[in-house]
Structure 1
Amino acid sequence: MSPELIRLIVEATRDTLYMVAISGLIGAAAGIPLGVFLANSKRGELFAAPWLNAVLGVIVNATRSTPFIILVVAIVPLTRAIAGTSIGTTAAIVPLSIAAAPFIARIVEGAVREVDHGLIEAARAMGATPLQIVTRVLVPEALPGIVLGLTLALVSLLSYSAMVGAVGGGGLGDLGIRYGYQRFMPEVMAVVVLVLVLLVQATQTAGERLAIHLNKRIRRQ
């Protein structure tokens, strides 16, 4: 493989990591509070707002059920309004973030709902406010599950970042399509697949180890 192709692979890997990191941060910033709210906003819960819970639930489900490649095309005007363009790595962050937020929200909602309800009642009995219960009981107890969920979200974003290359999103997917497919260079496609597999494996391993560490720390407390 020529030095030029090696340089392109390195740059594409960097672009993919950039897209996944930024969209993951944005998705987590929106999805974690949304998930916590969805887990505690039904009738009789900490932030009881059944109607808002239902509306947000429909929006989250609608976004999650839309195939990612269709979502990318459907929100091109929004992407152009935010990023100033609809192609390139920065533009790809917009649909990646929109896809990540509801996915993370549902994962966080599930992790929070698994926390022992007795802990919530005990905190209430001690006079804790709803916000204190969330920050000092629910989130710390659900943290290992949240970390595993965020790991799954990052793995999904790696897959989505490859798909967005089909519509000019840049990164490894774009490189694989332009060189591996359009220019009939199977060795480039093979390297792209290998790099993606390694990134997924590294992300999954790191997330699992962090979750195990957090789980052990919670049990020691």
Structure 2
Amino acid sequence: MIDILNEYWKAYLFSDGTRWSGLVVTLWLLAISVAIGFVMAIPLAVARVSSNKWVSRPVWLYTYVFRGTPLYVQLLLIYTGIYSLSFVRSTSLLDAFFRDGMHCAILAFALNTCAYTTEIFAGAIRATAHGEVEAARAYGMSKFTQFRRIILPSALRRALPGYSNEVILMLHCTSVAFTATVPDLLKVARDVNSATYQSFEAFGLAALLYLTVSFALVWAFRQAERRWLAFQRPLGK
């Protein structure tokens, strides 16, 4: 273990000497995919709860497909499947995008987490107290203003516990990025194992780093819940 740390700690944390690798790549994949998924999920969640089937059904189909198939398969389809199409290779912009493993990994992760986040937010919107909506109508708010000022802020706060689980699961899902030749934490651990044949130590270090980041995310979300869900806590005596 000490020998591996002395020789490969930089690769595990931030660089293998030629490019970014390890933990910093894993955190980048997590941050950018979760950010894109979050931004996309808000309007999709609003569409998901719409009474208009022409609006809600396409969103339902999207979330059903991406929640019903493994992320690993989605990544393979995007990284190898789409690039095998002739029109993709013949279009310079598409060719440059889908030839890069990092681009494909981010796209797959963002679409996947967006599907789960959309359903989490849609459930929170449906659970909005009817009295809040009636009060907004009584003030003469338009439908758009109701969502902007009442429904969405309330729903996003109540969705925090479920959303925190999705972010942590997304951290774990980034471990499949090595399939697209992305030098993430698991890719470094696999390379170290191939070089040293010390499987327990190589993958054990990766597990400890994943565990540390998971604890940090849990702590951050608990702090957010204490602040934005304080109204749900029982009053102390």
> Which TM-score band applies after superposition, normalised by the shorter structure?
0.7 to 0.9
Decide whether aligned partners of structure 1 residues 51 and 90 sit closer, same or farther in structure 2, where only a CA change above 3 A counts.
closer
Any gaps of 5 or more consecutive residues in structure 1? Answer: 43-48
Closer, same or farther: CA 8–95 of 1 in aligned 2, 3 Å: same
CA shift, 1:16, in A, is 0.5
How far the C-alpha of 1:183 sits from its partner, in A, is: 4.8
Structure showing greater Rg: 2
Do the aligned partners of 1:75 and 1:95 also contact (CA within 8 Å) in 2?
Answer: yes
Matches within 5 A, 1:27-176: 27-39=37-49, 41-42=50-51, 49-76=52-79, 78=82, 81=94, 83-87=97-101, 89-176=102-189
Cα 1:167–1:207 shift into 2, 3 Å: same
Deviations 1:138-187 (A, max 9, x none): 12212322333332222121111112224423211211222236752221
1:205 aligns with 2:208: no
Alpha-carbon spacing, 1:110–1:141, altered in 2? closer, same or farther (3 Å): same
- Per-residue deviation, 1:84: 4.6
Moved over 3 A (4+): 77-80
Structure 1 residues 52, 106: closer, same or farther in 2, change over 3 A?
A: same
TM-score by length of 1: 0.86
The alignment covers a number of residue pairs equal to: 211
Alignment gaps of 5+ in structure 2:
15-21, 89-93
Which deviates more from structure 2 when the two are superposed, residues 205-214 or residues 10-19? 205-214
User: Does structure 2 retain, via aligned residues, the 8 Å contact 1:35–1:108?
Assistant: yes
Identity across aligned pairs (percent)?
21
The answer (yes or no) to whether the contact 1:35–1:106 under 8 Å persists in 2 is yes
Question: Matches of 1:38 and 1:147 in 2, distance apart?
Answer: 19
* Corresponding residue number in structure 2 for 1:46: none
Structure 2 CA distance for partners of 1:181 and 1:108, relative to 1, 3 Å = farther
One-letter amino acid of the structure 1 residue matched with residue 202 of structure 2: V
Which of the numbers 206, 210, 231 marks the counterpart of 1:196? Answer: 210
Q: Secondary structure in 2 aligned to 1:197?
A: helix
Q: Is the 8 A contact 2:105 2:180 kept in 1?
A: no
7, 15, 26: which one pairs with 2:10? 7
TM-score normalised to structure 2 length: 0.81
